[in-house]
Amino acid sequence: MKEFTSEEMKEIYERRRSDLAAFMVENKITAVVFSDNEDHRDANLRYFCGHVSDGILIVKNDASCVLIPWDINLAELNAFADKIIPFTRYERNTVRAVKAVLTTMADKGKNVVDVSPDTSYLDFLKFVDALPDWDVRCRKDSAHDFATAMRAIKDSYEIECTKEAARIGDKIIDGIEQRIRKGKIKTETDVALFIESECRKYGCERTGFDTLAAGPSRSFAIHCFPNYTAGQWPGEGLSILDFGVVYKGYTSDTTLTVAKGKLCKEQEELIALVEKAAKEGLKYYKKGITIRAAAAKVDEIFAKGKRSMPHGLGHGIGLQIHEYPFVRQRAEADSVFLPGMIVTLEPGLYDKDLGGVRLENDVLITEEGNEVITNSRIIRL
């Protein structure tokens, strides 16, 4: 992928914070607090400054920011912030750290600070008690929600990183198929550990989530439990593999189905319906088309086949495995696909007796239409 210089990365993070600051000014918000820790992960920390995890980022409405990291060494290596203060200075107390920094950010008159809508009521009260001169807000339609909407539209750096994750994922899929045909992958554990090893070999940070590998006796589940076992994979019938890999923070998400041996008529019908749904659904993944329309089309295809899909058609991906938008008929009526979105397309059908079939690829919405950036498929043996 294209290599971005330190100066280019600095500009990217500054531009993101400037866009956030414009929203804050418009909505009379003085500062916003993003807190990422073991109790609650918040990808906005990395999105706005590049620090990988565990820290507090406070952004003011003039786009300036202060990062308070748990690991100062990692922060100094990876982060792009105006000021970096070690968490130890505040005895690793979040409320104390936020209070100290906000004191330096206060403007004359009324000051408003947004904390995460996921903040517990008890923690919210701690902020209120510690900040008597601030209007502490924990609400919907906040700066946090605006940040979520921002992250739905990927910039050039995010697209490059996600495409690289997709490319690596495709190489892993090719390797899996080769190893299956050579008899080197025989169990669910074999394939899961192969993915873990290969993604690290290609420079990935980790898998996007715990790999889901289900042989024929377990592929009826949307998400099998446990995620993988010592059971045969792939076995005679229908087997499912769902995995993603993370490159520089950005994840891919693919699901392939392995059809092994002679299938019955009903199993072939499941495959045909899912492949048709993937093909027809893709036509709706275009600029300006409502998200509901895509989901409705696929549901219609399955209904005509006297089947129904027990999950949504797709979701955004990025710094998190599930991001806005969520492709389902419950989506807001005015939600549409927009250029820069990277969204999964994952029709699937599941039957306790026949097994399951799911086909998932990642789709970049473009000005002209779309680009399928992964190459997941039905593998027949």
Question: In this predicted structure, what is the pLDDT of residue 19?
Answer: 98
Residue partners of 233: CB distance under 8 A and separation at least 6: 185, 186, 187, 188, 190, 191, 213, 214, 215, 239, 241, 258
String of b and e for 111-123 (b: at least 16 CB within 10 Å)?
bbbbbbeebeeeb
- Residue type at position 344: T
pLDDT at 1: 80
Q: Under CATH, to which class is 6-150 assigned?
A: alpha beta
pLDDT of residue 67: 98
248 Ramachandran zone, left/alpha/beta (phi>0; psi -120 to 50): left
Identify the pLDDT of residue 2.
Answer: 82
Number of other residues whose CB lies within 10 A of the CB of residue 160: 18
Domain boundaries, the chain: 6-150, 153-380
In 52-175, DSSP assigns E strands to: 55-60, 65-69, 83-84, 111-114, 134-137
CA 365/CA 362 separation, integer angstroms: 10
Segments of the chain scoring below 70 in pLDDT: none
- The amino acid that residue 38 corresponds to is E
Per-residue pLDDT, 227: 98
pLDDT reported for residue 3: 87
Burial class (CB in 10 A: 0-12, 13-18, 19+), 47: buried
Closest to 299 measured CA to CA, from 271, 327, 320: 327
For 83-226, where are the E strands, in sequence order? 83-84, 111-114, 134-137, 206-207, 212-214
Q: Check if the beta carbon of residue 211 is closer than 8 Å to that of residue 227.
A: yes
pLDDT (tens digit, 9 = 90+) per residue, 84-135?
A: 999 999 999 999 999 999 999 999 888 999 999 999 999 999 999 999 999 9
Q: What is the pLDDT of residue 141?
A: 87
pLDDT value of position 84: 98
Query: Which pLDDT score, from 0 to 100, does residue 362 have?
Result: 98
Number of neighbouring beta carbons within 10 Å of residue 110: 11
The class level of CATH for 153-380 reads alpha beta
DSSP state of 340: T
Residue-level pLDDT at 279: 98
